[in-house]
């Protein structure tokens, strides 16, 4: 049932995005708190559009996910469709950015990039190819201390090793939010005020 829902969501996103989309990163359907209070798993599904091939070196990036590696290193788990594939997850403040794209990228906020290192080892060309439908590449899990949603972008690239054939994609994505400086200031002020009131009550009693 879970795989069926994921496939339906994948097909919907493929339909909703512009023609020629390549790797699609789906917004997390739910942010589930871990067994540890205040820890939330942000889960993203990555799919390859029918007829497309992903070569070693091709990647996708979720931009500006704050503190992406603060709780743990983001994890990308492959699905049964590509169990033989090997992916690498990296966290950087800038990039990796698909060529011919210019997504907003705050250099002070972490990005999460998933790169194909080695395709299906049972295939001679070492590529992952979506034949006969959408190929579910896998699931990316990024842990955060908040479930509050902010807007960001993801970018993907195919044929990265062949500049003349490179296909890039940019699309919207939900990420964890960072408390605004004003909100933090108000919180501190509120705590100080509470402390003063508490102190006065003790002094009067």
Answer whether residue 158 is part of any domain: yes
Answer whether residue 185 is part of any domain: no
> What share of the chain in percent tops pLDDT 70?
67
More confident: 80 or 4:
80
Q: How confident is the model at residue 204 (pLDDT cuts 50, 70, 90)?
A: low
Q: How confident is the model at residue 121 (pLDDT cuts 50, 70, 90)?
A: low
* Full residue range of the structural domain in which residue 108 is found: 2-178
> What share of the chain in percent tops pLDDT 90?
34
More confident: 21 or 95:
95
More confident: 146 or 121:
146
pTM of the model: 0.74
Answer whether residue 16 is part of any domain: yes
Q: Give 156-168 pLDDT, tens digit per residue.
A: 999 887 777 788 8
Answer whether residue 62 is part of any domain: yes
Answer whether residue 44 is part of any domain: yes
pLDDT over threshold 80, residue 80: no
Report whether 89 contacts 111 (CB < 8 A): no
Answer whether residue 60 is part of any domain: yes
- Total domains in the fold of the chain: 1
Which of 22, 149, 140 shows the shortest CA–CA distance to 73?
140
CATH number of the structural domain spanning residue 116: 2.60.40
Q: Distance (Å, rounded) from C-alpha 128 to C-alpha 59?
A: 12
Answer whether residue 136 is part of any domain: yes
Answer whether residue 55 is part of any domain: yes
């Amino acid at each position: 049932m879970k795989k069926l829902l994921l496939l339906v969501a994948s097909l919907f996103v493929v339909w909703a995005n512009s023609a020629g989309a390549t790797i699609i990163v789906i917004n997390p359907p739910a942010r589930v708190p871990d067994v540890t209070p205040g820890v939330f798993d942000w889960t993203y599904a990555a799919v390859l559009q029918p007829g497309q091939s992903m070569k070693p070196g091709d990647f996708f990036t979720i931009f500006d996910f704050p503190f992406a590696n603060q709780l743990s290193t983001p994890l990308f788990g492959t699905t049964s469709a590509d169990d033989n594939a090997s992916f690498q997850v990296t966290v950087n403040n800038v990039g990796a950015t698909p060529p011919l794209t210019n997504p907003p990228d705050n250099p002070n906020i972490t990005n999460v990039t998933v790169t194909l290192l080695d395709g299906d080892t049972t295939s001679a060309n070492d590529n992952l190819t979506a034949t006969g439908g959408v190929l579910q590449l896998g699931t990316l899990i990024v842990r955060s201390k908040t479930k509050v949603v902010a807007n960001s972008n993801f970018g993907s690239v195919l044929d990265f090793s062949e500049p003349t054939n490179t296909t890039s994609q940019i699309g919207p994505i939900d990420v964890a939010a960072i408390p605004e400086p004003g909100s933090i200031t108000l919180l501190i002020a509120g705590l100080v005020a509470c402390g003063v009131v508490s102190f006065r009550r003790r002094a009067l009693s």
